[in-house]
Amino acid sequence: MSLIDTYYNEQQKLWYGPENVLFADATTSIGEVVYQALKADPTNICQTSHDNGKVLTNAETLTAAIRIAQFLKAEGLSHEDIVGIIAKSDIHVTDVLLACFFNTTPVHAVNPLLETSTIAALYGITKPKLIFCDGCNYELMKTLTKDWKPRIITLSDHIVNVLRIEELLKATNTENSYVPCKLVHGGDQTMAIVCSSGTTGLPKAVTLTNSQLLLISPTSGINDVVYTTASLDWLTAIKCLLSSILNGAARIVSSQPITTQLTVEIIKKWKVTYCYLSHWQFNELFASPLATTENLSSLQFVQYSGGWVSPGVVHSAKRVLESTIFVCVYGTTETDGISLCLNAEMENLVGALLPGISARIVSEQGVYLNHNEIGEILVKTTQNWNGYYGNPEQTAQTLDSDGWFHMGDLGYFDNDNQLYLIDRKKDLLKYKSMHYTPNEIEKIIIELPAVQQVCVVGIKDKFYGDAAGALIVRKAGCHLTEQQVINHVAKRISVHYKQLHAGVRFVNRIPVNFNGKLLRNVASEMFEDAKLPKAKL
């Protein structure tokens, strides 16, 4: 079901959504728009910390953001510099983000839960002049950035003789005369950088322009309470923050690790009306005995994205919350939202194209396809994109010369012009919202002397996404158990999402084509067909 229509041009074999409208003129900075919104309603509650119950009004948030922005300007930072944020969700994180928007200094947010090598690679691309982090990560960030030595400021867990956020929040006595910086390059100026992973496993820094950030949905309103589990390295979190401020809704933030119990606790305590979840968090929530009408009765709108949710889970959610609207959003960091579907009731359905989106379905030979024909989904938006920061080669592979995004997803449109997402064309996998590639794990497994060949595949987990499973050919005469492989991967890879959650299957051969390229689809089927008990992680 959808509230918007998708149109089809049969001659061009082109599907497209309605026209989109920016929240403000593209040449007005998102910082100025937020500044005016906070100033216009100073007593409205802007954000509340679930951790300590602290409530901040628009006026208090505005003052904090202005003081940090004044510090950025005094440090000589401009639109040509980068500010890094690598921290848990917190009220001060919001203040820093808004300050960067006020100063038109692009902010690069990175998830502190990523592997050290990934964090190093990401910040090695953008080289922030200033980095805000939690004190527990100070020494790590100091080590990783020793080549360019940015100034590092702690947001929590402060360290002696290290600049802390509270120093930046002291009164300047010039707050009332402060004016946000103007854009230098208009609507196409880069204002933020978020993270994406490529099929090679190397991270990419995705730029977001001022115009992209001005595409704000008017979903929440003045009486709404909004909560999202997403951190600011996700476009979803940034858009959720902006939408809340510009539409007058209050936000709940927490620095605690995300669990179903915490999510339910926040929803119930603060009477959350709008909730934005990752697909696996949605699955986990509505499979939990905590998902009761009593606990979740305040919810009016639940949005989920990032992966697969079965219609059965949506049905279960509807049984608990009959009047709540459940919205599945399909999109990418590069394009923002592509389509949405209300109360998705069919397998693989991702719904109608969002305003400003055009799409084509293309065969491997480059032929434009008709209804009900599966091919690669190509997407075009009405906003210019500045590409991957410092990576023109990957940018050219993703965005062609005609303005079409090649994101590597396979799908089709039905006769009602509804989009269905079938599979990923690329090998990139995602487990609990965290990306990984099979090759990363294969390189670890092949270290084992008893392994002759290995192929890692993503096995669909109804809660969490792509669970890694390994097909292995053992060398003749060698003994190797599933548990030994699982233990080796756990020893060599520290993060949870890259573990062999689907287990190991030993086979006589690995499926390859005539060029020796792994046939992962066939390998996935082989893995599924081998119904063996799974070892423990």
What pLDDT is recorded for position 199? 38
Whether the pLDDT of residue 533 is over 80: the answer is no
**207 vs 312, higher pLDDT:** 207
Domain with 127 in it: 29-45+57-214
- Structural domain includes residue 115: yes
- Structural domain includes residue 411: no
CATH code of 38's domain: 3.40.50.12780
Out of 214, 237, 263, pick the residue that ends a domain.
214
What pLDDT is recorded for position 21? 86
Q: Where are the beta strands (DSSP E) in 343-392?
A: 349-353, 358-362, 375-380
What pLDDT is recorded for position 515? 41
Percentage of residues in the chain with pLDDT exceeding 90? 74
pLDDT band at 428 (very low <50, low <70, confident <90, very high): confident
Q: Which residues contact 396 (CB under 8 A, 6 or more apart)?
A: none
Q: Reading across the β-sheet that carries 130-133, which strands appear in turn?
A: 151-154, 130-133, 83-86, 107-109, 190-197, 203-209
pLDDT band at 435 (very low <50, low <70, confident <90, very high): confident
- Structural domain includes residue 269: no
- Distance CA(498)–CA(180), nearest Å, equals 43
Q: Which residues contact 425 (CB under 8 A, 6 or more apart)?
A: 376, 408, 409, 410
- Structural domain includes residue 108: yes
What pLDDT is recorded for position 191? 98
CB atoms within 10 A of CB 154: 24
Q: Which two tokens stand for residue 78?
A: 């401009």
What pLDDT is recorded for position 197? 52
What pLDDT is recorded for position 44? 97
What pLDDT is recorded for position 514? 41
- Structural domain includes residue 463: yes
Element (H, E) at 101: helix 91-102
- Lowest-confidence region among 139-148, 254-263, 299-308, 383-392: 299-308
Which string of b and e fits 457-490 if b means at least 16 CB within 10 Å? bbbebebbbbbbbbbbebeeeeebebeebbebbe
CATH code of 487's domain: 3.30.300.30
**367 vs 306, higher pLDDT:** 367
CB 499 within 8 A of CB 489: yes
What pLDDT is recorded for position 527? 93
pLDDT band at 440 (very low <50, low <70, confident <90, very high): confident
**36 vs 438, higher pLDDT:** 36
Out of 190, 214, 238, pick the residue that ends a domain.
214
Render pLDDT for 58-96 as a digit per residue (tens, 0 to 9): 999 999 999 999 999 999 999 999 999 999 988 999 999
- Structural domain includes residue 288: no
Whether the pLDDT of residue 122 is over 80: the answer is yes
**234 vs 386, higher pLDDT:** 386
Render pLDDT for 492-525 as a digit per residue (tens, 0 to 9): 999 999 999 999 999 998 887 544 556 788 888 8
| Average confidence (pLDDT) over 193-210 | 77
Q: Which residues contact 47 (CB under 8 A, 6 or more apart)?
A: 55, 56, 61, 91, 94, 250, 251, 252, 253
Q: Taking the CA atoms of the chain, what radius of gyration do you get in angstroms?
A: 24
Which neighbouring-strand residues pair with 379?
Answer: 359, 405
What pLDDT is recorded for position 280? 80
- Structural domain includes residue 536: no
Out of 187, 214, 241, pick the residue that ends a domain.
214
Single out the residue of 212, 229, 228 nearest to residue 220, CA to CA: 228
Whether the pLDDT of residue 2 is over 80: the answer is no
For the chain, give the mean pLDDT.
92
| Average confidence (pLDDT) over 307-328 | 90
In angstroms, the first-to-last Cα distance of the chain is 40
- Structural domain includes residue 458: yes
Three-state SS at 386: coil
Structurally, how many domains does the chain consist of?
A: 2
